[in-house]
């Protein structure tokens, strides 16, 4: 059960961490006032 519990915890932390980082990045971009701030030629 230790290996299974550790695997579940690791997967949950990684998934939640990536989701939180993505949401924080989008929030900071929207807060900057330039939601479409892509480099245009």
pLDDT at 9 (0 to 100): 96
pLDDT at 7 (0 to 100): 95
List, in order, residues 6 or more apart from 37 with CB less than 8 Å away.
Answer: 29
Render pLDDT for 1-41 as a digit per residue (tens, 0 to 9): 789 999 999 999 999 999 999 999 999 988 876 655 555 55
DSSP state of 1: -
pLDDT at 19 (0 to 100): 98
Q: Note if the pTM is more than 0.75.
A: no
How far apart are alpha carbons 28 and 21 in whole angstroms?
10
pLDDT at 39 (0 to 100): 56
- The angle formed by the CA atoms of residues 30, 33 and 14, to the nearest 5 degrees, is 25
């Amino acid at each position: 059960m230790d290996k299974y519990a550790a695997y579940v915890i690791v997967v949950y932390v990684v998934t939640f961490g990536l989701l939180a980082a993505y949401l924080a990045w989008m929030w900071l971009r929207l807060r900057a006032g330039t939601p479409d701030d892509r480099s245009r030629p």
